[in-house]
């Protein structure tokens, strides 16, 4: 009996040591929280300024779109509200980054990445296009920070995130094209997912995609509930039936929301 008890104790100790070794070997992409009031204030101000600047540039770049006059007037009246909202959002995000990472080069880079993500969301929502001038620098910045060992994501994880983020959606789009003989997703979404993968690593990319899909489904359902009556009247007036699910939606804003959440949490 004593021999079996000693054997059980030895097995438990061995398993606990193996578990601790496995947990220590994991490369978590986050660091310990750093509560520095100076870092919070500085990055809150920097976030408010930079995200307001990115939002302003994005809205001005889409202002030349051919839209009806009443929509242009509505956009002009809402522009001060957008500016105030961008400043508040930037200050909150900057304060969160400062509270978590302190006043560091990675924290400043992360605030810049969040500003670029906001600009991408605005541009994609307005035009359905994700410009390479924003997605590619975001991708290379994430890889560079990993290569310099500045971020909490290793170079192996970062490059794997780029490959998985782009390759998975590319294969999915290829399958849709073979099945429906038309493009189901733009290549800008591939590059944005690859850029997010460079920042969060290949282990978090599936979670980012899943969360983005869930947010998109909830948004489509909400749009369907709100616009159902107007949509039915329009299709009835045309004498044809156009299902809502057959319409296209920009996927970039949902990727931005999911990716920004992953950057702040993981």
User: In this predicted model, what pLDDT tens digit does every residue of 229-254 receive, in sequence order?
Assistant: 554 554 444 444 444 445 677 899 99
What does the pLDDT read at residue 247?
61
Say if residue 54's pLDDT is above 50: yes
Mean pLDDT computed over 13-25? 42
pLDDT digits (tens, 9 = 90+) for 86-117: 899 999 999 999 999 988 999 999 999 999 99
Question: Mean pLDDT across the chain, nearest whole number?
Answer: 78
Mean pLDDT computed over 159-178? 90
Domain extent listing, the chain: 31-127, 132-266
What does the pLDDT read at residue 178?
84
What does the pLDDT read at residue 235?
45
Q: Are 157 and 29 in contact (CB under 8 A)?
A: yes
For residues 162 and 197, give the distance between their C-alpha atoms in angstroms, rounded to a whole number: 5
What does the pLDDT read at residue 164?
95
pTM (two decimals): 0.76
């Amino acid at each position: 009996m004593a021999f079996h008890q000693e054997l059980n104790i030895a097995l438990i100790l061995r398993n606990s040591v193996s578990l601790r070794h496995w947990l220590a070997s994991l490369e978590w992409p986050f660091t310990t929280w750093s509560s520095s009031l100076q870092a919070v204030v500085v990055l809150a101000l920097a976030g408010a300024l930079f995200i307001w600047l990115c939002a302003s540039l994005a809205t001005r770049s889409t202002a030349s779109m051919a839209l009806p006059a009443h929509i242009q007037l509505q956009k002009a009246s809402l522009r001060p509200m957008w500016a105030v909202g961008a400043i508040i959002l930037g200050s909150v995000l900057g304060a969160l980054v400062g509270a978590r990472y302190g006043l560091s080069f990675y924290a400043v880079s992360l605030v810049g990445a969040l500003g670029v993500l906001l600009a991408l969301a605005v541009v994609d929502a307005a035009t359905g296009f994700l410009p390479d001038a924003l997605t590619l620098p975001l991708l290379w910045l994430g890889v560079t920070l990993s290569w310099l060992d500045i971020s909490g994501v290793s170079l192996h994880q970062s490059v794997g995130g780029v490959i998985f983020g782009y390759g998975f959606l590319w294969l999915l789009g290829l399958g849709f094209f073979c099945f429906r003989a038309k493009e189901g997703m733009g290549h800008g979404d591939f590059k944005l997912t690859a850029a997010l993968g460079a920042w969060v690593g290949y282990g978090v990319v599936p979670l980012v995609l899943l969360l983005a899909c869930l947010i998109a489904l909830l948004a489509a359902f909400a749009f369907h509930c709100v616009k159902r009556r107007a949509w039915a009247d329009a299709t009835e007036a045309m004498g044809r039936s156009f299902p809502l699910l057959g319409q296209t939606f920009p996927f970039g804003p949902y990727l931005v929301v999911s990716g920004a959440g992953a950057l702040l949490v993981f």
